[in-house]
Amino acid sequence: MKNAARTALDAASAGGVTYADARAVSIRNRSLTTKNGRVGHASESESLGIGVRVIAEGAWGFAASADLSGSAVQAAAARAVEVARASARVKREDVRLATEPAAVAEWTTPYKVDPFTTSVEQNLDLLLKVDAEMRDVAGVTLAETGMNFQREESWFLSSEGSDIHQTKYSTGAGYTAYAFAGSEIQKRSYPNSFGGQWQNRGYELIEEMKLVENARRVAEEAVALHHADQCPEGTATIILDGSQLGLQIHESVGHPIELDRVLGMEANFAGTSFLTLEKLGNLRYGSELVNVVADARQEHGPGLGTFAYDDEGVAAQSTPIITNGRFTGYLSSRETAHTIGAARSGGTLRAEGWNRLPIIRMTNVSILPGEKPLSLEQLIAATDDGIYMETNKSWSIDDKRYNFQFGCEIAWEIKHGKRVRMLKNPSYSGITTEFWNSMDAICSRDEWAIWGTPNCGKGQPQQVVGTGHGASPARFRNIRVGSAYS
């Protein structure tokens, strides 16, 4: 694979380019699901190929090939150069790359158990145990579980001398119990909805999640929702669990800080951003308690956005995004860094695979936990009147990332510091900056976890990558609730 990257780089460099890089990538996946006591889906896949990125005549070109023979790789490099020269016909100015020292490195995701060394029998046995626990609860009409592993090995070589070999592992699992009765379908998921919890770790993540131990409770909650009261419509104090707050960060902080969106590069599909350049350093994004970082470093934790180098060879960094409520940073790349006066890329360029051009992506965009000790139960106890919402059910936000609406699977009304009744179909909505400015409490490190969003889509052709979001439960005042059913 590395030889293929070297061949591609040599071929592209011979084509008169001012910059070239080649990424040879090998991806292996295992995907298992069960449904109502049977295997739903069992598959493995591998995908190998190379992507060649060049700048010629001041414009970008990219070509990719699954054929790793010398002639095919050389042809891909030649196509990349041809594509770049075509791009140059419609350019306003030459591409400018921020300087970056050449890196020579080897890195592998730290893990205890390589998930691919675990047997399929072992994986399915666990999922079927969870499935049986859920279906043992009367009223459950559908039980679904899933488990996924991925290993991505890449070789990045650039005309500037970088030579980086990385191997990233990601692991995920989760389940959902559905209950259909009367004219309602209710569901509960664990540890999170839409695929569960995902991190860049080995099989030890699965072993730590207590999947079987929580299955019955989750199934019982799905059934109990049929007897719960509807979430009221109006204005309320809300507390969000960490997983929901992670998605809130993803949508209302992570996407608007992508500098390519801000600069209009995503205007046709993903949209633009309300965070225009003059807001950097000036906007009051949130309350004093809001501190958000974009951190791809291993020391931040094993999020889906953790790596040693991004896909253009820039080392992982931590960028302060919101500091004591003030907007302080964007996600940037070598091409876009100069637009914010930065000398160096923030190291966020990533591609879905060998056949995609890397673009700016969230790394681990995380809210930092509160400094004073505060557990979720203490936060609830300190809330006189409110609604505690848990586990995302639906999410939507406008194309500049102002107006959002989220639905959750379950909620509890809080009165005088106690959960007094379950509520079904909870939802809340608002405007991004108003929402973050209303945060008046956040739980401390003990409640903080990095949640994985494995399905973040962006770009044309669309690329789906995983992002990480560290969060602990937090409280927000004067939030509109219940409008989804208004």
Partner 1 sequence: MLTKEQAADVFDRIRRFSSADEVEAIFTGSRFALTRFANNTVHQNVEEENSVISIRTNFAGRTARATTNQFDDESLRRAVAASEKLARVQVADPDLLAMPTCDEAKAAGEGARATPTRFFEQTAAITPADRAEVVKGIVAVAGKHHLTTAGIYSNSESREGIFNSVGLANWHHQTLAEISITMLAEDSSGWQKLNSTDVRKLDPARLAETAAQKAVESAHPREIAPGKYTVILEPAAALDIVGFMFWDYSGVAILDQRSFLNDRIGTKPFGENINIWDDAAHPLQAGSPFDGEGMRRQRVPLVENGVVKRVVYARATAQKMKNSEYAAKVGRIEPTGHGFPLPNEMGEMPMNIVFEVPEKAFGAPEKPRSVQEMIASTERGVLVTRLWYIREVDPYEKIVTGMTRDGTFLVENGKVQCGLRNFRFNQSLISMLSNVEALSVPMRACGEESFDMVVPAMKVREFNFTEATKF
Site for partner 1 in 389-428 (CB under 8 A): 393-400, 402-403, 405, 407, 425, 427
What DSSP element (H or E) covers 132?
Answer: helix 120-135
Residues 107 and 238: their CA atoms lie apart, in Å, by 42
Min. distance of Cβ 139 from partner 1 in angstroms? Answer: 11
Residues 155 and 308: their CA atoms lie apart, in Å, by 13
Min. distance of Cβ 198 from partner 1 in angstroms? Answer: 19
Within 20-39, which residues bind partner 1 (CB under 8 A)? 33, 35-36, 38-39
Stretch that binds partner 1, among 41-49, 209-217, 308-316, 408-416 (CB under 8 A): 41-49
Output 55 or 164, the one with its CB closest to partner 1. 55
DSSP notation for 179-222: EEETTEEEEEEES-SSS-EEESS-THHHHHS-HHHHHHHHHHHH
Is 77:56 a contact under the CB 8 Å cutoff? no
Which has the closest alpha carbon to 379: 320, 444, 427?
444
Q: Using the rule CB under 8 A, which residue among 45, 108, 230, 235 binds partner 1?
A: 45
Within 56-85, which residues bind partner 1 (CB under 8 A)? 59-67, 79-80, 82-85
DSSP notation for 407-428: EEEEEEEEETTEEEEEEES-EE
Within 138-167, which residues bind partner 1 (CB under 8 A)? 141-142, 144
Within 439-478, which residues bind partner 1 (CB under 8 A)? 460-461
Parallel/antiparallel/unpaired status of strands 385-397 and 234-240: parallel
Per rule CB under 8 A, is residue 43 in the interface with partner 1? yes
Is 8:71 a contact under the CB 8 Å cutoff? no
Q: Using the rule CB under 8 A, which residue among 220, 266, 311, 409 binds partner 1?
A: 266
Residue type, 232: P
Residues 355 and 105: their CA atoms lie apart, in Å, by 23
Min. distance of Cβ 155 from partner 1 in angstroms? Answer: 17
How many C-beta atoms surround the C-beta of residue 259 within 10 A?
Answer: 25
Parallel/antiparallel/unpaired status of strands 163-181 and 104-108: parallel
Which has the closest alpha carbon to 259: 359, 343, 351, 401?
359
Q: Using the rule CB under 8 A, which residue among 16, 44, 229, 371 binds partner 1?
A: 44
Per rule CB under 8 A, is residue 483 in the interface with partner 1? yes
Joined tokens for residue 138: 């009367």
Q: Using the rule CB under 8 A, which residue among 2, 14, 16, 41 binds partner 1?
A: 41
Within 364-393, which residues bind partner 1 (CB under 8 A)? 393
Min. distance of Cβ 353 from partner 1 in angstroms? Answer: 10
Within 283-342, which residues bind partner 1 (CB under 8 A)? none
Q: How many residues bind partner 1 (CB under 8 A)?
A: 85
Within 120-139, which residues bind partner 1 (CB under 8 A)? 120-121, 124
Stretch that binds partner 1, among 118-126, 207-215, 374-382, 408-416 (CB under 8 A): 118-126
